[in-house]
Amino acid sequence: MTQAITAHERDAVPEVTRLATGERGGAPGITSEADRPPDPQELRDDQVDGPELTARLAKTWGTEKGLIGALSTVDHKVIGRRFIVTAIIFLFLGGLSAVVMRLQLAQPENNLVGPDLYNQLFTMHGVTMMFLFGVPIGEAFAVYLVPLMVGTRNIGFPRLNAFSYYVYLFGGLMIWVAFMRNIGPDVGWFAYVPLSGPEFSPGKRADVWAQMITFTEVSGIAIAISTVVTAFKLRAPGMTLDRIPLFVWAELVNSFVIIFALPAVVTASAFLLMDRLIGTHIFNPAEGGDALLYQHLFWFFGHPEVYIIFLPATGWVSAIVVTFARRQVFGYIPLVLSLIATGFLSFGLWVHHMFTTGLPQLGASFFTASSMLIAIPNGIQIFCWIATLWDGRPVFRAPLLFVIGFFFIFVAGGLSGIMLASVPLDTQVHDTFFVVAHFHYVLIGGNVFPLIGAIYYWFPKFTGRMMSERLGKWHFGLAFIGFNVAFFPMHITGLMGMPRRVYTYMPEMGWANLNMISTIGAVLFFGSFLLFLHNIVASARRGALAGPNPWNAGTLEWAAASPPMPQNFDRIPVVTNREPLWAHRDTLPVVAGLSVENREQIVSTVTAGRADLRETTPEPSIWPFLTAIATTILFIGSMFTPWAFVWGTPPLALALIGWFWPKPSTEDEK
């Protein structure tokens, strides 16, 4: 599979392939709308060429101006851009709350914030980073990049995609407004019962947490489904399963993990809401419920969650390593298989968050074995990337620097994870700052560093301008040093006995110096992000123009203009290699025959990636936005009264009816 493509093979594909016009070999008598031969009157993209084709397609696929147009758009790039920006704003909010916490902990018995605000702060930090940044950022990149990388014009289910963005936005706004109004949850991002239950969490704080989960999970599952459909059914002709870019594979596996993991936490938070609002006793031991049940449900989601955050990052790393090593990836098949293995294994580890709850010992030790076993697929990935760099010609630009930072930090975090996987060792370090250090090494190393690399890498694609390389290097240096200064000492504070989630500690505990170092590092780390912000804003205005392929990369998104036109590609490319732009340096082979006047896409077969059907994808619509509003009213109302399900459903039903109202397809109108 990893053999070089010969010059002969490169030439074997004709420059323009025409799509068959209707003589599709189906069983006789069974015809569907999609099998109908295309209307000969309709303008097709093999009849026009050049700038006229571009302009006409841009009109067909474009987003209308004005507020209504902006809210109706179904363009995956517009939605994806909003998604990425929103997630990064939440990253900054989460980071800000972390800085306040670090300042409080800088000195023993500090009085900057009291316990009540501190508890809200660390809950908001965790919730924001996990649910409003960590999960969405991976999905946001999928929304923007997967359709481009597989060579299609829009994401599968574009309206569902638009809906999921608004639901996510409203959920995030709800919890932050609640926090500003002193209704911020104060029970931790995990909200263990009974502390988050009705007796010990009066008021609406825990309800806000639980309902925010519902928002983000509805949104998360919806995008995951769109991503799976895009990756399976909308690939460009010729993109067989083994030619799918690794980034798309990562997002695909990630989407499946999301689809299977998130229902568990929705169950947990819905049960919690029921206990709190309508007086069920699901988690009440006195009435036959069980407090530990909650932890099982939560961590059955909570551990895959870590991989939901990490898997997209493997996609970013793969893309950056390949481009900047100037070599096709080493070990494509092992990399894909280890992604899939990680996805499966991630569901077998959740009990290692509960080793100190007194579970049966033999059972717990099985989870030690499975937790350690995940080192194997992750090891394969790390080794394959190193091998790619080894045999390549590394070009040290900012994206690669952040990926190198990722290697240093993530591998360290993964190795301290091996300690946590061991039941006996875990009893000492569980719920201490050692764990805080560990998962920040894993999550910041495994997600944030690759993310920043990815932003430096794809920024030219998003905006058409390059980011400043000089600032990028400063940013990397500051972030790398700041991060390690902030988080390495936490390993030691944890071993010295400092538990997590304490708002202060006493001077005689001897943790003061280490905490001060951590705070200084945290401030540095946050400062590096301000530099990053400056770089983004300045480069978006004045950066050097990028052109379609500034990095000379190999995957399809670089064949589109920067920023891409609404239609992504004037003609859909034909894929003959895993790195199409490297295989065809001058002109990419394309297919023609799609409508110019309709939003027509190629639907291809799942494994072979053969063009199978021609299908129109939905027009822009305001209904997804209205549905999201109705959903928000229902969700927020149901925090206050179960009757919200009665009066909240009709508006939602109306919005959905509007959304799904059968329209005569534009083809039929002609």
Nearest to 573 by CA among 249, 146, 238, 143: 238
46 CB-contact burial (10 Å; exposed 0-12 / middle 13-18 / buried 19+): middle
Does position 292 interact with other proteins (CB under 8 A)? The reply is yes
Does position 225 interact with other proteins (CB under 8 A)? The reply is no
The neighbour count for residue 506, using CB atoms within 10 Å, is: 10
Instruction: Out of 17, 128, 230, 416, name the contact with other proteins by CB under 8 A.
Output: 416
Of 15-23, 27-35, 43-51, 188-196, the window that binds other proteins (rule: CB under 8 A) is 188-196
Query: Restricting to residues 202-221, which ones interact with other proteins according to CB under 8 A?
Result: 202-205
- Per DSSP, helices labelled H in 62-157 are 66-72, 76-105, 115-127, 135-149
CB of 604 to other proteins, least distance (A): 24
Query: Restricting to residues 296-335, which ones interact with other proteins according to CB under 8 A?
Result: 322, 326-328, 330-331
Query: With respect to other proteins, which residue has the nearer C-beta, 141 or 294?
Result: 294
Query: Restricting to residues 576-605, which ones interact with other proteins according to CB under 8 A?
Result: 577, 579, 582-583
CB of 50 to other proteins, least distance (A): 30
Does position 408 interact with other proteins (CB under 8 A)? The reply is yes
Query: With respect to other proteins, which residue has the nearer C-beta, 519 or 568?
Result: 519
Binding to other proteins by CB under 8 A, coded x per residue (else -) over 94-113, reads --------------------
Query: With respect to other proteins, which residue has the nearer C-beta, 355 or 456?
Result: 355
Nearby residues of 615 by Cβ (< 8 Å), 6 or more positions away: 34, 600, 601, 602, 603
Query: With respect to other proteins, which residue has the nearer C-beta, 81 or 500?
Result: 500
Query: Restricting to residues 445-464, which ones interact with other proteins according to CB under 8 A?
Result: none
Query: With respect to other proteins, which residue has the nearer C-beta, 33 or 391?
Result: 391
Query: With respect to other proteins, which residue has the nearer C-beta, 62 or 394?
Result: 394
Query: Restricting to residues 164-183, which ones interact with other proteins according to CB under 8 A?
Result: 177, 180-183
CB of 191 to other proteins, least distance (A): 10
Instruction: Out of 514, 574, 588, 628, name the contact with other proteins by CB under 8 A.
Output: 514
**d(C-alpha 129, C-alpha 614), whole Å:** 40
Binding to other proteins by CB under 8 A, coded x per residue (else -) over 552-571, reads --x-----------------
CB of 648 to other proteins, least distance (A): 17
Query: Restricting to residues 233-272, which ones interact with other proteins according to CB under 8 A?
Result: none
Does position 89 interact with other proteins (CB under 8 A)? The reply is no
Nearest to 443 by CA among 414, 401, 415, 484: 414
Of 90-98, 209-217, 240-248, 504-512, the window that binds other proteins (rule: CB under 8 A) is 504-512
Nearby residues of 525 by Cβ (< 8 Å), 6 or more positions away: 478, 479, 482, 483, 485, 486
**d(C-alpha 97, C-alpha 591), whole Å:** 51
Please compute, for residue 532, the number of CA atoms within 13 A of its CA located in the half-sphere on the CB side: 27
Does position 495 interact with other proteins (CB under 8 A)? The reply is yes
Distance of CA 357 to the CA centre of its chain: 31
The β-bridge relationship of strands 16-18 and 590-592 is parallel
CA angle at residue 574 from 570 to 576, to 5 degrees?
150
Q: What are phi and psi of 532, to 5 degrees?
A: -60, -45
| 193 contacts 283 by C-beta, under 8 angstroms | yes
Instruction: Out of 45, 305, 426, 570, name the contact with other proteins by CB under 8 A.
Output: 426
Does position 424 interact with other proteins (CB under 8 A)? The reply is yes
Does position 524 interact with other proteins (CB under 8 A)? The reply is no
DSSP string, 606-645: TTT--EEEEEEPPPP-SHHHHHHHHHHHHHHHTTT-TTHH
Query: With respect to other proteins, which residue has the nearer C-beta, 371 or 595?
Result: 371
Query: Restricting to residues 362-391, which ones interact with other proteins according to CB under 8 A?
Result: 364-365, 368-369, 372-373, 375-376, 379-380, 382-384, 386-387, 389-391
Of 57-65, 289-297, 614-622, 625-633, the window that binds other proteins (rule: CB under 8 A) is 289-297
| 465 contacts 543 by C-beta, under 8 angstroms | yes
Rg of the Cα trace of the chain? Answer: 26
Query: With respect to other proteins, which residue has the nearer C-beta, 422 or 666?
Result: 422
The β-bridge relationship of strands 16-18 and 600-604 is unpaired
How many residues of this chain interact with other proteins, rule: CB under 8 A? 117
CB of 384 to other proteins, least distance (A): 7
Instruction: Out of 15, 52, 537, 640, name the contact with other proteins by CB under 8 A.
Output: 640
586 CB-contact burial (10 Å; exposed 0-12 / middle 13-18 / buried 19+): exposed
Q: What are the structure tokens assigned to 154, written together?
A: 């829009």
What is the per-residue burial (b if ≥16 Cβ within 10 Å, else e) of 350-374? bbbbbbeeeeeeeebeebbebbeeb
**d(C-alpha 247, C-alpha 619), whole Å:** 28
Distance of CA 7 to the CA centre of its chain: 38
